[in-house]
Structure 1
Amino acid sequence: MFDVHSKESHGYSLEVLADILSQSKSTIESRVRKGELSLIKGSNLIPHSQVAHHPEIASIVASKWDQELGIKPARTYNLVELFAGGGGLALGMEQAGLNSIFLNEMDRHACATLRHNRPEWNVVEGDIAKINFSEIREEVDVLTGGFPCQAFSYAGKGLGFEDTRGTLFYEMAKAINELKPKVFLAENVRALLTHEGGKTLNTIRKVIDELGYDLVEPKVVKAIFYKVPQKRERLILVGIRKDLSQDVTFHWPSPYKKIMTLKDAFLKGELFNSDVPLSEGQQYPQHKREIMEQVPEGGYWRDLPDDLQREYMKGSYHLGGGKTGMARRLSMSEPSLTLTTSPAQKQTERCHPRETRPLQVREYARIQTFPDNWEFQGPLSAAYRQIGNAVPVNMAAALGRSLVRLLNDIENIKIAQS
């Protein structure tokens, strides 16, 4: 963890600085070799003074996180969530003070998780295409969800709302059209920005406009800035109903004042009040374990002896590219790489920093900032899948507070006009 407000922490490690600035570690190392940056004597830390001019660093120093924690709903705001998964987004929205009245999810194990942890939530299991949203009688203030990124069929189409039929975006748009929430938030993979050369996002923009919403300029949100020990990025889309949007502004959440690392996830401290509990987890086959034993903390396949590199990588050994996820052991002093739906996939290995095994379920959950009492239902593979697909809870809560702030502003205007 690096705290810019602490006198003892007066520098950034090369790895953490690279994450903050969205540069590779090799780029930072190159800047050090060229003399653009220098290390604090006897350490591998870049002094704060050398990088304070970067906007990302300045925003951490000027963080308003603590003030934003004080944002509370002016009244009860009702939330409908689609594609709810294992509950990361819904839990964050709950922490922000929003009231979930309807959650839809198709995966039965994820639905079991939601019901187990929040028996009072109205969890509707099944295909979103078969749900009649007109049955929701309450006023809906917010609609949230993460629709999968899918290609549209572009041949000879104007690509309005009806032309996106057959996609899960269409189903989310249909729900927005029926429920008319004041605001919606959709999250997606960063790749949506450039999907089909940008045509997919342009179609989504057109449909949102057609539905009667103004789209806030989409933003790629990096989890490490929101008290999450993970290098996860998500594209966030926020739409405000046009009859309200002219009078209010959506404010993106401020970054947290520290960058959290795996040490913060696994050991008692600021993120959690105890060390990570033991839990079930995948195991390596004996031979793979013997190979992974030789990867140092923070290392990957290129840190193996050449004969093991060739054996492990097979044909990929001769191909270009770093393939830095292969035979990857995480580091306690860095945020985790983005979690996937399994910690022991060859392309996206997530080995424990100091023990030679894949990350366990509770370790996975902590990296996504789920509380330890949030219990995942279903077999081991289902638990990993629910966690790996989730929106990090702390990031969701920060976005939720921004939504509450917006709704409060709308409420204040209504009161002033009445």
Structure 2
Amino acid sequence: MPVSKIEVSGTPQIVKNYCELGNMSIEANSVDSYVCKLPIISLFSGALGLDLGLEKAGFQTRVAVECNKFAADTIRKNRPGIPVIEKKIEDVTTEEILEIAKLRPGEPVIVTGGPSCQSFSTVGQRGSLTDPRGMLFQEFLRVIRETQPQFFIMENVKGIFSAAIKHRPLKERGLGYPPLEPEEELGSGFVEILKELRDINYYTVFDLLNTANYGVPQVRERAIFIGSRDGEPVAIPEPTHAKDPVNDLVRWVTLKEGLEGLEDKNPLYRNFNASKRQFIQIIPEGGNWRNLPPELQEQAIGGAYKSWGGRGGFLRRLSWSQPSPTLTTNPDGKATMLCHPTECRPLSVKEYARLQQFPDSWEFSGSLSQQYTQIGNAVPIGLGKAIGQAIQKVIQSDQKMIKRTGIYTREDLLKRLVNRPRTMLSPPNMWKIKDREAAREWMNGHNRNRIEILEYVSCYQD
């Protein structure tokens, strides 16, 4: 097992030899004490976020692979010491990654990555595993197979759990349409992901984590997968915060607390257009479209009023006394609005970055839209730090090694995955044939994915 971040005393030459043995970088801690930091390979790096959190837990990013030129420039601007490979992952060989990181197969301690997740998202036009963006998961696994890191971390939207191999548009489901094919069922794509994870022979745990439970001033759910090459007992980090705290947990961090001390005298943001402004200016702190007078509600949110009845993100004004909702990449969109609690404007770029816990000095490249996108796509630094600390705990443990294999999650999450419906239908008022009993029959049938998930996933081992 590689040595973790550890203080090593002695002459500079002794420390140098000790750290070089494990291909670790050296950082001075005092006159005669040094810290050896363990190497990370970062894929789909974005503006960094997950990796900054891991660095707070004692790791070091040795190379970043990021094809977006604005995100790549953001990394270079803020962390010039990190080599950036500005290419699509499918155009980068593992040999090139290892060479630039100055590592050999088996030496990376962690490979991190969040394969582009738009195709799994429930926001906007949902895709499938056959979407080219969904296929980036295969590239992530390719680098893991060829670099053989001690651990890997993969993060994604919670929609990955219900990803389908083949997407059928919502308007083409239900009575009057052909029965679902197995590949169109919710979770069919996730089953394929599980098969791939099994085949790399890592001991893997996964869960759906709320970042607010780790001290982040934002309610944001992310799917987190942690894998161990050698079967170490890796575990999902335990929460430190809660909405209603008990025992040693503390209360969620509010928006006001999260933005405390931020200097943003000339906030950079996109103005609401006149149509949105006329409604948002009469919505109170913590409210949304439902706080409008009844005669204005349908006019304010348009067709969504009759389809889904409107959702909480429509014309949303934030509350100082609550964490922020998930930061989207479009804070001035009608359905994804993140309006300042007391001012008639979206959250600014600096406020966005603070809620993702980037340093206040962090500079983002590109247009205003590109900056919001980089920040909104990032993993909050607090969650990355918690994951890094969980891995450090395993590395530093001196308990006897027991080789573990398989894929594991919480019992309640496994039940949710197994018991979910085969698909989702439009609201009944939008059905071509309004027959609830017949709709239930259309929805029924053999759900292959429920059985297959149980073949690949078990509850956590003791």
Match of 1:84 in 2: 45
Partner of residue 320, structure 2: 332
Q: In the alignment, does 2:115 pair up with 1:147?
A: yes
Matched residue of 1:225: which SS? helix
1:204 counterpart = 2:189: no
Which residue pairs with 1:223 in the alignment? 211
* Aligned-residue RMSD, C-alpha: 2.5
> 1:282, 1:250 → 2: CA distance?
41
**Deviating more after overlay: 191-200 vs 331-340:** 191-200
Q: How does 1:55-70 map to 2 (within 5 A)?
A: none
Structure (1 or 2) with the larger CA radius of gyration: 2
Q: Is the 8 A contact 1:265 1:276 kept in 2?
A: no
Q: Equivalent pairs: percent with the same residue? A: 37
Contact 2:228 2:234 in 1 (8 A): no
Aligned to 2:91: 130
3-state DSSP of counterpart to 1:76: strand
Q: What is the identity, as a one-letter code, of the residue corresponding to 2:309?
A: G
Counterpart code for 1:360: S
TM-score relative to the length of structure 1 = 0.73
1:312-327 correspondence runs (5 A) = 312-327=300-315
Q: Is the 8 A contact 2:116 2:134 kept in 1?
A: no
The match for 1:252 is 237
Q: Distance in 1 between matches of 2:272 and 2:130?
A: 42
Q: Is the 8 A contact 2:226 2:236 kept in 1?
A: no
Q: 1:297 to 1:166 in 2, by over 3 A?
A: closer
Check conservation: 1:278, 1:362, Cα contact below 8 A.
no
Count of aligned positions: 324
Q: 2:183 corresponds to which residue?
A: none
Q: Deviations over 1:317-371 (max 9, x none)?
A: 3334341111111111111111111111111111100001111101111111112
Instruction: Work out the CA distance in 1 between the residues paired with 2:134 and 2:222.
Output: 24
Query: How far off is 1:142 after superposition?
Result: 0.4
Residues in 1 aligned to 2:353 and 2:392: alpha-carbon distance in whole angstroms: 26
Counterpart Cα distance in 2 of 1:383 and 1:165: 21
Letter in 1 for 2:253: M
Q: Write out per-residue CA displacement over residues 275-326 of structure 1, whole angstroms, 9 at most, x where no aligned residue.
A: 5554311111234323211011111112112333232223333334341111
3-state SS of paired residue (1:349): coil
Find the aligned partners of 1:287 and 1:253 in 2 and give their Cα distance: 44
Give per-residue Cα distances to partners, 1:5-57, cap 9 Å, x unaligned: xxxxxxxxxxxxxxxxxxxxxxxxxxxxxxxxxxxxxxxxxxxxxxxxxxxxx
Instruction: Name the residue aligned to 1:365.
Output: 353
2:68 aligned with 1:107, yes or no? Answer: yes
Structure 1 unaligned regions, length at least 5: 1-72, 155-163, 269-273
User: Which residue does the alignment assign to 1:158?
Assistant: none
1:3-402 maps to which residues of 2 (within 5 A)? Answer: 75-135=36-96, 136=98, 137-138=102-103, 139-149=107-117, 150=119, 151-152=128-129, 167-196=135-164, 197-216=186-205, 218-241=206-229, 244-245=230-231, 247-256=232-241, 257-268=250-261, 274=262, 276=264, 278-402=266-390
Q: How far, CA to CA, are the matches of 2:274 and 2:321 in structure 1?
A: 28
- C-alpha distance in 2, partners of 1:143/1:333? 37
What are the Cα deviations for residues 183-227 of structure 1, in whole angstroms up to 9, with x where unaligned? Answer: 1010011111122222222222221221221212x1001011111
Q: Structure 1 residues 378 and 412, CA, compared in 2 at 3 Å: closer, same or farther?
A: farther
- The letter for the 2-side match of 1:226 is Y
CA distance in 2 between counterparts of 1:203 and 1:287 reads: 44
Deviation at 1:403, TM superposition (A): 1.9
CA distance in 1, matches of 2:328, 2:221: 13
Name the stretch that deviates more: 113-122 or 319-328.
319-328
The answer to whether the 8 A contact 2:316-2:338 is kept is: yes
Unaligned runs of 5+ in 2: 1-33, 120-127, 165-185, 242-249, 403-462
1:119-178: CA deviation from partner (whole Å, max 9, x where unpaired) = 000111111001111231412110011013453459xxxxxxxxx998101100100011
The Cα offsets for residues 57-92 of structure 1, whole Å up to 9 and x where unpaired, read as xxxxxxxxxxxxxxxx98421100111011111111
SS in 1 for 2:187: helix
1:13 corresponding residue in structure 2: none
Matched residue type, 2:305: Y
1:261 Cα deviation from its structure 2 partner: 0.9
CA separation of 1:370 and 1:277: change in aligned 2, threshold 3 A: farther
Cα distance in 1 for partners of 2:130, 2:363 equals 40
Contact 1:83 1:105 survives alignment (8 Å):
yes
CA 1:309–1:144 in 2, change beyond 3 Å: closer, same or farther?
A: same
